[in-house]
Amino acid sequence: MVLRTIFTTLYRMVYPFLGAFSRGMGVDIATLSFVLIGRSLVAAFIPFVASISDQRGRRFGMLTGIALFTFGVSLVVISPSIWTFSAAIILGLFGKYLYDPATQAYLGDQVPYERRGLAIAITEVGWSLSLIIGVPVIGYLIANFGWSAPFPVFTILGLVMFAVVWRNAPREDPNPTLVRKPWLNFGIVLRNPVAMAGISIAFWASASNELVNLIFGVWLEDSFGLQIAALAGASAVIGFAELSGEGLVAFLTDRIGKPRALKLGISASAITALMLPFIGRTEVGALIGLFLFYISFEYVMVSHLPLMTELVPSARATIMSFNLTGISLGRVIGASLATFIYSQFGFLYVALLAVIFNFFGLRALSRLQKYGGTP
């Protein structure tokens, strides 16, 4: 959970401080949005590297991910620029996308399915802590020491993470499929209609979320003139929403069943996206709307993960890496559309498109249930 907090803070800090980073590096927001699109396109290559945990072991996948993260952020320490910033963001995502499937596959190996929702929800708390703790700290560093100030801190934390996993992660790997060639695992996943339907859910849900995720900081600045400290506070509100979503998963998902939990969460996400432009006409209303939007989205994503770990048990790390590819490609779609729609038509149309994407997510869930993928 703690290590996931560090990984995710690097990933998420760009969104609320998009304006601060663009001003610090002397580039416009559109340029940085292309960096985020490029970061998400990295996902096309993730299965080729993340499935290494099905061949070399979960510990090896975790350590490789941490090494990439640490190398990337150290580049900005050496020479701060838009180029090293872009490299850090992309390599940080590569590292995260090696570390996460290895961790989730390990939990799939060790934790019984009927309790796996709780186990994964605990590790996913790192996602919300990145906003509750990580982003406010990043905001303080940027406001007081400049846009590149977080990167020396990340470099030190990366070295600490590597030492922690090296010392504590089990060297013995219980996964019985380590000798399987990666392309065989790819075929098992890509030819499985249940697996593809599950990945589609992640794709549409993340596309919907990214539309709001990329724009909310700019929207709050434009609507209410919020400054860096206030944006960090808004991020903390979203973090508490996500923490609540993870708590709901821990409490409900294993009890009511993963597919039913997903249907509930996707429906709630669509409703709250539709509400956002109307209740967001005041600062308090905007924050309440964002709280509800993010709690429902987090409930969807964390309920989705334990379901995915059981769809193809013989290739857990591989299917989880393809799932991350679906999430990232969804973010590519959301990031590609968000700034254009917001600048040309306004936030209302951003929210409406988020509703449509959630509807497609419900359709994908129906197909998964049709194919019998409801363990």
Residue 240 belongs to some domain of the structure: yes
Residue 177 lies in a domain: no
Residue 373 lies in a domain: no
Percent of the chain with pLDDT over 90: 27
* 175: in domain: no
> b/e string for 66-95 if b means 16 or more Cβ within 10 A?
bbbbbbbbbbbbeebebebbbbbbbbbbbb
Q: Which residue has the higher pLDDT, 129 or 235?
A: 129
Instruction: Tally the domains of the chain.
Output: 1
In a domain, 257, yes or no: yes
Looking at residue 52, which CATH number applies to its domain?
1.20.1250.20
In a domain, 179, yes or no: no
Asked if residues 231 and 139 have their Cβ atoms less than 8 Å apart, the reply is yes
Give pTM, 2 decimals. 0.74
Place of tokens 């309440």: 288
Q: Please indicate, yes or no, if residue 186 is contained in any of the structural domains.
A: no
pLDDT band at 234 (very low <50, low <70, confident <90, very high): low
pLDDT tens per residue, range 112-168: 888 888 888 888 888 888 878 898 899 899 989 999 999 999 999 999 999 999 998
- Token digits for 154? 């990340």
Q: Is residue 54 part of a domain?
A: yes
Residue 170: how many other CB atoms lie within 10 Å:
11
Chain center to CA of 19: 21
Average pLDDT, the chain: 84
- pLDDT above 50 for 334: yes
Q: What are the tens digits of pLDDT across the range 308-318?
A: 888 887 777 78
Flag whether pLDDT at 8 surpasses 60.
yes
- Torsion angle defined by CA atoms of residues 162, 85, 297 and 288, in that order, rounded to the nearest 10 degrees: 120
Highest mean pLDDT among 205-209, 290-294, 304-308: 205-209
At 261-270, the pLDDT tens digits run 899 999 999 9
- Residue 86 reports pLDDT greater than 60: yes
**Residue 40 reports pLDDT greater than 80:** no
| Predicted local distance difference test score (pLDDT) of residue 235 | 66
| Range of the structural domain that residue 259 is part of | 2-168+192-368
